[in-house]
A and B are shown apart, each in its own frame.
Chain A
C-alpha cells in the first residue's frame, strides 16, 4: 500500500468541482493529514474540463505525482483526461444515470462504482449535493472516517444555515452507505487520522496574509488569473487593519495607485500576471528613479501574449530582471513554497523600504493554486519584523535640509540610501520625478549630477548585496557530484525527486534559488559539481542563462513548457536521463 493517496474530482466548469475538492482537502487537513492540491482548469466559467486533485499523506507532501487512485468522474472526458494516471485497481466513482456518463466504459483492470449520486442527493434534500454524495462514497473507498467530512461541511456551509449543513452530512452518509451495501470490493486504502493541527492555504492567500502581516495597507490591482486570489483575500480583511483594496480600471492605474499610496508613506502593493506586468512596465522606471518603495507581485502564467492563462510557466524571469527602458534598479525575490510566499512577501516590503526600490515578488501559477497544509507555527506572526529604513520626521529632518532649508529626498549618502519624508512632515515638502533629478528631486540634465544620481542608486544595490542574506535553500547531499538548481514552485517536486533518486542510489545536491536579483553566488557550488542541471518551467532556460552569465560556465537544462508543473517522479527520471550518457562514458 502506498503511503499517499491521490484523489480527484473532475467534470465541467460549473459542476462545483473546486468547492467539492476544497471540502475534501479541508476534511483531510482537519483530520491531521497533510494535503497537496492541484487543479486542471480552463479559463472559462462553464463547460470544458476541470479537475481538482488532492494528494494526501500522514507525512508532508510537496508535489503532485503521476498516479491517481480514486477519481470522481462527472463526465466521460474526465476519465479520458486522466487515463495515463489511472492504474490497475484505481477506483472510478460515477453516476451511470447522468446523461454524460451513460455510455461510459470502465477499463477492466479498474474498479467502477456506479452510484446514483443525483438520486441519493435528492433523498438528502437536493440534487445540488450530488458531489457530496460522491465524497461519502470516497470516504468508504478510502476508509476515511466520515465524521471528518462533517467539520469541513460545517465550515463550508455554516453561513447558509444549520439545515443545509445537516443535509450535506446526510448526503455524504447516503453515499457511504450505498457504496458499502452495493459493492464489496477490497480497497487498498486506509486514511488514518492524526492529532496534528494544520492550516490549509494556497500561495496567493499566503502572499495576501504576508502583506497584512508586513504592514501593507494599500493594495491596488486589476483581476487576472492566477493573481486574483491575492486581491480577493485582501478585500475586506485588510480593512480590519486600517487598509484598503482598490480595484483599478487597468494595471496602468493599479501600479500608479500603489505608487501614490507609497509616496504617502503606506506600504503598498500590486499583484498581477504576465499581461498586467507588461502594462505596469511603463511605471517601473518611475518607481525606481523616484526611489519609491513598492512591492510588485507577478504570479506567472504561461505566455506570451494571452498564452495559456490557467497553465504553469516561469517565463517572466527576464521581464522582471530587465523589463522597461533604460537601466532600472530593482530587486526580485521568488518564493519557492506556499509558506515562503508569506515570508518572502514580508521580506519584500522590508527590502523595498530599506532600499527605497521596487521589489518584484515573483510567484507562479503552481504556487498560486496549490492548497497545502502547514502547522500554524509556519506563519508565526511574532517572527515578523518590520524595517522601514531611513524615514525621517520633524525631530531629525533638519539634518537633511540644504543650506536654503530644502529637504533633499535624493541626497547622495555613502551607502546610497537617502532620507524619506512622508507628506505631512513639517519642512519636508519636496518633489520627485521620473526625469533625472538632483538631490532636491528637481529635473536636471547636468552631466555631473546625472553621474552622481545613477551611482547613488547603484550604490544602494551594492549596499543591499553586502548587508542582506541572498542565500539558497539547500537540500540533498552537499558532496554530491550532481548539482540541481531550480527556482519557484519546482522546489516541492524536486525535494521529492531527491528521495526517489536517493532510493535509486543517485546522490544529488539541490539548491533552490529564492532570490533572482540580487542572487546567490553559485560559482563555488557549480565548480565543485561534475554536472549542474538547472530545472525550470520555460522553454529557453532563463535562470540557466543568468547563471551561465554569472559563473561563465555551461550548465545542463531541464525545461518544461507544456503548461503543466513538474511531477516528482517525472523530474527524477529527467535528471537520470541527463546523467545517463555521462555514466556510460565513465
Chain B
C-alpha cells in the first residue's frame, strides 16, 4: 500500500448528478480527504451507502463499495468490518436513511461501537423524491406531504446517539471544507463508532435550512472551551436544540471497539480447503 495516497485517488471517474450547489459535494470531498489523510487506500477501504441522494456516494468515490437497501447501510458496514477488521469501513447516509427507515439500526450501531465511521448528510428534507418532510425537518416545515408542517418535533440524532452510549459524536458543515475534513478525520481515527452529522444543505427543496442559515447560526465548539470528554457538557450541548453546534461534541477516550472486546481479529475470508482442523470434535460433542 502506498503512503502517498491523495484524495483524488478516492474519486471515481463518474460525475455526480447532485444539483449544482448541493451540500453533498462538500460532504463527500471531506470524506475522501479524510480517508486519504488518515493513510487509507481505496483497495483497503469499504464504503457503504443507503438510498437517497447520499446513497449515490459509492458511485462517485473509488473504493470497495456497496450501495444497498434503504436504511440498512450500517448493518452492512458492521458485517464487512467484523469479517475483516483490517478494512477501513465508512458508512454514508442521509437523514431519511439514517434517522427514519434506518433509525433502529442507528441506535444499535451506536451501541455496538464497531470501529468505523458514519457520515450522515443531513439536509432536513427528502431531496431525491423531490421535497417531502424528513425526520430532521422542523415542526413547521411545509412540504408537499406536510402542507401545515409535520406537527412533530424533529429527531435529535445527537441526543439519540448520546443516549445510546455513543463514544464519538460530532457535527460539521459541508461548506466549511477544512473543519469538515478535520472532523471526519477524527471520526475515522476514533477507536469505535465515529458518528458525524453533517449539515449538508439541499439547495433545491429546503429554503429554510440554507447555507446562509447555517453560516449565521453555527457555533464551532472547537473555538470554545467545550471539553469533548465531559459527558455532562455534551449532554447540555445536544439538547440545546436552538443552537447549531459543530465540532466534536463528545468523545469517550476509553472507548474500546466491540470487535476488540469480543476478540474478533481475523480475516474471516481465509478458510481452509476442507473442514477446519478439530471439526471432528464437534461431532464427538454429541456422544
Binding site for B on A (CB under 8 A): 29-30, 197-201, 205, 209, 212-215, 217-218, 220, 237, 239-244, 246, 248-250, 252-254, 256-268, 282-283, 286, 290, 376, 379, 381-382, 384-386, 404, 422-435, 442-443
Contacts and interface: CB of A to CB of B under 8 A. Distances in A.
Contact of B269 (A249, A252, A258, A265): A265
Contacts of A215: 271-272, 275-276
Contacts of A259: 66, 68, 75-76, 79
B144 interface: no
Contacts of A30: 287
Nearest to B263: A239
Pairs of residues from A and B, 10 with the lowest C-beta to C-beta distance, nearest first: A260-B79, A265-B269, A215-B271, A266-B268, A217-B268, A199-B286, A433-B67, A256-B75, A264-B83, A431-B65
Interface stretch (B55-63, B117-125, B196-204, B248-256): B55-63
B66 A381 contact: no
A385 B79 contact: no
Contacts of A283: 68-69, 72
A200 B285 CA distance: 9
6 contacts: A209-B282, A217-B266, A218-B83, A257-B82, A261-B79, A386-B273
Given A237-B282, A248-B75, A268-B83, A427 B272 contact: no
Interface size class of B (residues with CB under 8 A): 35 or more
B283 A429 contact: no
Contacts of A201: 286
B159 interface: no
B67 A432 contact: yes
A257 B78 contact: yes
A262 B78 CA distance: 11
**Most chain-A Cβ atoms within 10 A of its Cβ — which of B78, B107, B286?**
B286
A209 B273 CA distance: 17
Nearest to A282: B69
Contacts of B74: 253
Given A243-B268, A381-B279, A430-B65, A265 B58 contact: no
Interface of B: 12-14, 42-48, 58-59, 62-69, 71-72, 74-84, 86-87, 104-105, 107-108, 262-264, 266-269, 271-276, 278-280, 282-284, 286-287
B177 to A, nearest CB: 24
Given A260-B83, A264-B83, A434-B68, 16 more contacts: A249-B105, A253-B74, A253-B104, A253-B105, A260-B78, A265-B83, A286-B69, A379-B283, A381-B274, A381-B280, A382-B274, A423-B43, A423-B45, A424-B44, A433-B68, A434-B67
A30 B287 CA distance: 7
Nearest to B266: A242
A435 B86 CA distance: 28
A200 B284 CA distance: 10
B213 to A, nearest CB: 32
